[in-house]
Structure 1
Amino acid sequence: MKALTIRQPWAGAIVHQDKRVENRTWKLPARHHGTRILIHAGAQLDKNAKIYGPNFGVYGAIVGVATITGCHWSDDGTCCSPWGFQQAYHWTLDDVAVLPEPVTARGALGFWTPTADALNAVTVQQTGVTW
């Protein structure tokens, strides 16, 4: 299973609010369409973000899981309001689940593979979920 690092507060908005789009400058590789991924809260805050909320203070940890259901380009961002950015690829997410306890992990750019220990810690918390 792959993970995707997302800066706070966006990772928190995905797992704790209704953010179901991830804005990216690059198109989703076809092999990741329809796959279940781990949501990793990056080590840094997006200083341009203007939202805050519960558990947005978690950094450097896997905080949830989601399924990537699609990808489309948006010129004006209105298709995925209020979360869609202008001039960005919108990766749509579904079946989002928050982990009861964040799993500390070092992230990376792009999709990355967590350690066996991190995957085991996630699996223990997601009993009954098929990866």
Structure 2
Amino acid sequence: MRALTIRQPWADAIAHGTKRTENRSWPAPAKHIGTRILIHAAAADDKKAVLPRDANIGQAFGRIPIARHSAIIAVATLAGCHFDTGCCTPWGMDGYFHWELADVVALPEPVPAKGALGFWTPSDEVINAALRQDTAVAW
């Protein structure tokens, strides 16, 4: 199982809001389309984050507890990937690949983990701790 590190508050907007598009400069690996992935909140915040107008961000722009940094905070299905065509409002950014997320489940307890750039593989211990919570949450 793979993980994707995302800076706060965007990781929380995925886990607790309506953000279902992650913007990347590179396409999602085709072999992972349709698979479950872990959403990892980075240690650092995106200091230039600007809330899209009329977006439902859930808890994302409130004060984010330190426990939701450097941790797996959600599990999602990587449903697809396409290059921007002026779509995916309000979350899609012009000129980026849009990674489509579906079936997002916020974990009740963040699983501490050191992240990595790009798409990475967490330890078995981290994966198992996240999946135990994922299967305990009603969809």
Q: What's the TM-score, normalizing by structure 1?
A: 0.89
Equivalences for 1:39-54 in 2 at 5 Å?
39-51=39-51, 52-53=61-62
TM-score w.r.t. the length of structure 2 is 0.84
Which of 71, 80, 86 is the matching residue for 1:61?
71
Distance 1:29 1:96 in 2: 19
* Cross-structure match for 1:84: 92
Letter in 2 for 1:8: Q
Write the distance in 2 (CA, Å) between the matches of 1:70 and 1:8. Answer: 22
Q: Which amino acid aligns with 1:64?
A: A
Deviation for aligned residue 1:56: 6.6
Distance change in 2, residues 1:15/1:66 (3 Å): same
Of 54, 73, 76, the match for 2:83: 73
Unpaired runs of 5+ residues, structure 1, are none
Q: Secondary structure at the match of 1:127?
A: helix
Query: Is contact 1:8–1:56 with CA below 8 Å preserved after alignment?
Result: no
- Aligned residue pairs, count: 127
Using the TM superposition, give the Cα deviation of residue 127 of structure 1 relative to its aligned residue in structure 2, in angstroms.
2.7
Q: Distance in 2 between matches of 1:4 and 1:33?
A: 13
Q: Is the 8 A contact 1:9 1:56 kept in 2?
A: no
Instruction: Pick from 86, 111, 116 the counterpart of residue 108 of structure 1.
Output: 116
Q: Aligned partner of 1:89: which letter?
A: F
Identify if the C-alpha distance between structure 1 residues 56 and 29 changes in structure 2 by more than 3 Å, giving closer, same or farther: farther
Distance 2:121 2:35 in 1: 14
For residues 27-48 of structure 1, give each alpha carbon's deviation from its aligned partner in whole angstroms, at most 9, with x where no partner exists: 1111111111000000111111
| Match in the other structure for 2:54 | none
Give the equivalent residue in structure 2 for 1:95: 103
- Kept after mapping to 2: 8 A contact 1:20/1:94: yes
